[in-house]
Amino acid sequence: MLITNARLADGRRCDVRVDGERIAAVEGGLDTHADERVLDADGDLLLPGMIDTHVHFREPGYPEKETWATGSRSAAAGGVTTVVDQPNTEPPTVTGNAFDSKAERAADSLVDFGLNAGVTADWKPDELFARPVFALGEVFLADSTGEMGIDADLFATAVREAADHDVPVTVHAEDATVFDGSAKERDDADAWSAYRTAEAEAIAVERACAVGREVGSGVHIAHTSTPEGVDAANEAGMTCEVTPHHLLLSRDDLDDLGTFGRMNPPLRSEERRAAVYDRVRDGTVDVIATDHAPHTRAEKDAGIWDAPSGVPGVETALALLLEEARQGRLDYERVRDLTATNPAAVFDLPRKGRVEAGRDADLVLVDPGSPREIRGEELRSKAGWTPFEGWNGVFPRWTMVRGEMVYERDEDGERFGEAGGENVRLSR
Ligand SMILES: NC(=O)N[C@@H](CC(=O)O)C(=O)O
Ligand SMILES: [Zn+2]
Ligand SMILES: [Zn+2]
């Protein structure tokens, strides 16, 4: 297959030859081979597919919230070619059997995937590390959906075990001992942000990084929501990720969002949001990941202390970032690095993350000048809602995973490919 007349994030014009699952060449003026399929990119932007290192696809256990089939369609339509699933399913992914049963469900995935292993008091590290685990994580330092919060001793043990097996660790860093209990008297949506304080994140990030340094290994901080958290991770020499919702939404949006804006860590002040954005723009933040955490409308439509935490996001992340780039607030190379090149480097995926000969043909084509309005009910996630209702997003014309089209949109409508996703820790 030859993709002609593409523009890369760095502005280069080129053709891209795809041979089977891999990129064979990236050059200007490649000649078409006999019988070769030609895809004209019409000068549009060709990016490496997004590697979303943080999704909750909910199987096994909660198929009413999401399945691998629906979650991965949402990913494909959003330009995400690899997803990494988190362990707070039912059963939690803390034993060999639980990992195996999740791997069976993941066979429904349209896109490539990683499967994380979790840590609870009764986890089985030997069983887990004998399997193709993507990372240990998210390791919960405080309770979130699934109530998998653990204590400091178990965390230190877990980081040591992971280092022994050369497996990366990702951390949900909040410290419940510094949550503000006085907020519990309120029942407005902002009470959640008042309760789970910014300080609770900073303290937990520092603690997690200190353990990483002691053990002599890296930890990756999931969904950092404050400039203090980002800076603490960065100063300790660790990596971190930011979600689109912490980048683009703040406590000021909670009047509109209500309990649909409840997530962990919670939305922060407009000042903190803007400071996080600065750190995303200047490269202090390594990765954008969605923490795609679908819950049904019915579940979210509850009081602030009863609604589950989490928002969907795998389909809208890259589209929102490309709209930020269209508006001139980010550049395309930064978007590429945050969504593909950096996650591939941080999590050691040498075949992913770049439009370069030898890498997997995980590719997304977008017309960067043509945004579309986001409508929750049109997204493929079972959630059927989004905190970005009515925002603009620049969505893919097509998405390809290892040379296979998984999503295409044109004047004739939309088409999805077949389930063919592979575990990225196998055979690599
Ligand atoms: N972020 C959330 O608010 N919720 C996540 C869990 C998590 O990532 O902490 C979920 O699984 O629902
Ligand atoms: Zn989390
Ligand atoms: Zn999460």
Residue-wise pLDDT for 275-289, tens only, equals 999 999 999 999 999
For CATH 3.20.20.140, list the domain ranges present in the chain.
49-346
- The active-site residue, picked from 44, 85, 286, 291, is 291
How does 340-350 read in b/e, with b if 16+ C-beta sit within 10 Å?
bbbbbbbbebe
Rounded distance between C-alpha atoms, residue 47 and residue 271, angstroms? 31
Is the pTM here over 0.90, yes or no? yes
Element (H, E) at 233: helix 227-235
Burial class (CB in 10 A: 0-12, 13-18, 19+), 373: exposed
ipTM: 0.99
pLDDT over 70 for what percent of the chain? 100
pLDDT of residue 90: 98
**CATH class in words for 2-45+360-382+393-427:** mainly beta
pLDDT of residue 350: 98
Written as six digits, the tokens of 413 are 């409508």
Rounded distance between C-alpha atoms, residue 86 and residue 63, angstroms? 15
C-beta of residue 92 within 8 angstroms of C-beta of residue 139: no
The predicted-structure confidence for 3-39, as pLDDT tens digits, reads as follows 999 999 999 999 999 999 999 999 999 999 989 999 9
What average pLDDT does the segment 142-168 reach? 97
Q: Closest Cα to atom 6, ligand 1: which residue?
A: 145
C-beta of residue 36 within 8 angstroms of C-beta of residue 2: yes
Is 245 annotated to bind a ligand? Reply is no
The predicted-structure confidence for 78-126, as pLDDT tens digits, reads as follows 999 999 999 999 999 999 999 999 999 999 999 999 999 999 999 999 9
Please identify every residue whose CB atom is under 5 Å from ligand 2, which is an ion: 138, 144, 172
291 classed as catalytic: yes
Q: Supply the mean pLDDT for the chain.
A: 98
pLDDT greater than 80 at residue 428? no
144 lines ligand 1 (CB under 6 A): yes
For a ligand 1 pocket test, name from 192, 220, 264 the mutation site with the most ligand atoms within 8 angstroms of its C-beta.
264
Residues 6+ apart with CB under 8 A from 147: none
For residue 124, count other CB atoms closer than 10 A to its CB: 16
140 Cα nearest atom in ligand 1: 9
**CATH class in words for 49-346:** alpha beta
Element (H, E) at 157: helix 152-164
Q: CA of 387: how far to CAs of 64, 163, 245, 325, 374, in Å? A: 19, 37, 8, 20, 10
Is 291 annotated to bind a ligand? Reply is yes
- At 164, is the pLDDT very low, low, confident or very high (cuts 50, 70, 90)? very high
Q: How far is ligand 3, taken at its centre, from the CA of residue 128, in Å? A: 19
Q: How far is ligand 1, taken at its centre, from the CA of residue 383, in Å? A: 14
What average pLDDT does the segment 400-424 reach? 97
pLDDT of residue 427: 65
For residue 250, count other CB atoms closer than 10 A to its CB: 20
The predicted-structure confidence for 329-357, as pLDDT tens digits, reads as follows 999 999 999 999 999 999 999 999 999 99
What average pLDDT does the segment 200-224 reach? 98
334 lines ligand 1 (CB under 6 A): no
The values of phi and psi at residue 110, to 5°, are -75, -25
Q: CA of 37: how far to CAs of 8, 22, 417, in Å? A: 20, 15, 17
Q: Closest Cα to atom 8, ligand 1: which residue?
A: 291
